[in-house]
Structure 1
Amino acid sequence: MDQLRGMQIFRTVAECKSFTLAAERLDLPRPTVTNAVQAIERQLGVRLLQRTTRKVSLTVEGQVYFDRCSRVLADVDDLNNLFSATARPHGVVRVELPERMAHRQLIPRLPDFFARYPDLQLRVGASDRFADLVGEGIDCAVRVGTLRDSGLIAKRIGQMEQINVAAPAYLAAHGTPRTPAELPHHLAVNFYSSQTGRDMEWEYLDDGVVKTVGMRALVAVASSEAYLACCRAGLGMIQVPQLGLEPDLAAGELVEVMPEWRPAPLPVSVVYSHNRHLSARVRAFVDWVAEVLVVR
């Protein structure tokens, strides 16, 4: 059995967590599946799967091998479809998304994505950290804000308008600021960078020029969902993209403050490694994200 076929069998066993289910999916005799995995383990000199009477799970070495062979198989699929204009995108796309964007805009629309691309599967990471695309084998990531990754290729898909918001409870306790001059008398929920650990300053546009103010804060977070939760709890004001907040504003759960002093719009980009071409499967996801977000 060739090595690529063996890798496909191993990947299927790992995904199914069962030799029997993998054999059924691949339409192969169970002994063939078992022998293929054992041959890989003998070749590598390590155990890749932990077998019990009830399930099969990956060992530490097995997880490393699974991640690497999944990338190899995806690259082979991309290569085989490189010059095919009619082939439907298929395979696994590994993506990293900003937490709030994933929860509010993208994940609720995934049924539409899979209806359009039934042969694709996604492995989604949703957080506000800056993932190592190359080291973690991630195909692409959506990044909001100014890009600092010089080793990545970026496709700009638009920008998001930002607004200043607060909870009614906060405004009842502290009053409503009208101008930046009043900010020293108010509290913010600070957001700190997962890269530097430093709090981001409060920003506003003054005749097209970005100005910043260091705000007092009781709490600082590195999660966009925690950022919103702290604001709703009345712990301070925040600055967030307006996209997706319309229901909260309409229901009065959040209130826009200082609308004449909004922060600058945030650029939105999809990034991927310079050593990975934008394959049909990744391009399908990138184009879909740009369509769903409809950022200006």
Structure 2
Amino acid sequence: MVCMDKIERLKVFCLVAENKSFSQVAKLLNLPRSTITYAIQTLEKEYEVLLFYRTTRSVSLTHVGQDFYEEAQYLIKNLKDLNRFKTMSKKSGGKISIGMPQRIATQILLPCLNEYYKNYPDIQISLNSQDHYSHLMNEQLDCVVRVGNVQDEYLISRNIGNVKIKTYASPNYIDHYGLPRDVSDLETHIAVEYRVGKIQSDLATLHFKKNNVKVPYLVVVENSEAYLQAGLAGLGIIQIPEYDAYLYLQNNHLVDIFQNIEPQEVPIQMLFLDRKYRPQYFQDFIVWLKDILKQKLLILENL
């Protein structure tokens, strides 16, 4: 194993960050790949931070890694001390980047943040609230909240619980099309089509616990807010999480049209890339967020 001092390891780190590849840097420096890997692992251990997200196919800087890269470049030129990163895990303030579905962000997280900031005033939260699945590595996110099953071997998941996805229509829709009594009646009805990352189809699909039903549609939308508003406007039947329909049911803006049919249940999960080097303020945020989600989302306890 080639012996490197700290400055040499930092130079290797910068090269990996710029080339996004351990193998290319090994070829560039005419060194074994294991030497490059060891240099990066030594820096991570010394400063107690995770610098890169790694998979078999890609390498990218973490959120902290990007800051470390800028500082390392400066240090290489000016020999500035980087020891401040070593105490990062113990600081009370910092940055958290999180991705979650739009409706969870606007209806649950944002209204609760003022309460959170009473105890954690020095945290900066960057919120990615898109309906498509946020990519942790590409978007440099610390955590993602997802509704539905996740199959990704590189992600660490923390299950929060299950939510019911129920079937609703507005009173206007029911006045026009009637109230379906069973899924067999749906052939004379229409749904709102919700298309995010789906292949285009001439029919929408309504999902139930025991079967799926194809239904015609007139309107296609690409985000959850438009989907809900289309349902409220009477443009078709919609299926949304039970927690998101609660107020609209109370105000008689939506009707639960299949109360005797078992709905589909889907998990809500928090996803991470790595357990190592999480600052305490981030650990505290995750505990707080999990409690808020369980309280607000009418979570079913691991049925």
- Which of 93, 105, 111 is matched with 1:102 structurally? 105
User: What amino acid sits opposite 2:246 in the alignment?
Assistant: E
Q: 1:183 to 1:71 in 2, by over 3 A?
A: farther
Matches within 5 A, 1:51-130: 69-70=66-67, 79-82=86-89, 84=90, 88=92, 90-130=93-133
Matches within 5 A, 1:126-275: 126-194=129-197, 201-205=205-209, 210-274=210-274
The percent identity for this pair of structures is 26
- How many Å separate the matches in 2 of 1:230 and 1:271? 30
User: What amino acid sits opposite 2:176 in the alignment?
Assistant: A
Once structures 1 and 2 are overlaid, which stretch shifts more, 188-197 or 125-134?
A: 188-197
TM-score (normalised: structure 1): 0.68
Compute the RMSD of aligned alpha carbons.
2.9
SS in structure 1 at match of 2:235 = coil
- How many Å separate the matches in 2 of 1:274 and 1:238? 36
Q: CA deviation at 1:277?
A: 4.7
User: What amino acid sits opposite 1:283 in the alignment?
Assistant: Q
Q: Which runs of 5+ in 2 are unaligned?
A: 1-6, 8-60, 71-82
Q: 1:71 to 1:216 in 2, by over 3 A?
A: farther
- How many Å separate the matches in 2 of 1:200 and 1:281? 43
- How many Å separate the matches in 2 of 1:290 and 1:72? 32
Q: 1:136 to 1:196 in 2, by over 3 A?
A: farther
User: What amino acid sits opposite 2:249 in the alignment?
Assistant: L
Q: 1:93 to 1:224 in 2, by over 3 A?
A: same
Once structures 1 and 2 are overlaid, which stretch shifts more, 272-281 or 112-121?
A: 272-281
The size of the alignment, in residue pairs, is 225
TM-score (normalised: structure 2): 0.67
User: What amino acid sits opposite 2:164 in the alignment?
Assistant: E
Q: Which runs of 5+ in 1 are unaligned?
A: 4-63
* Structure 2 contact 192–230 (Cα < 8 Å) conserved: yes
Q: 1:79 to 1:142 in 2, by over 3 A?
A: farther
- How many Å separate the matches in 2 of 1:280 and 1:77? 16
Question: Which 4+ stretches in 1 moved above 6 angstroms?
Answer: none
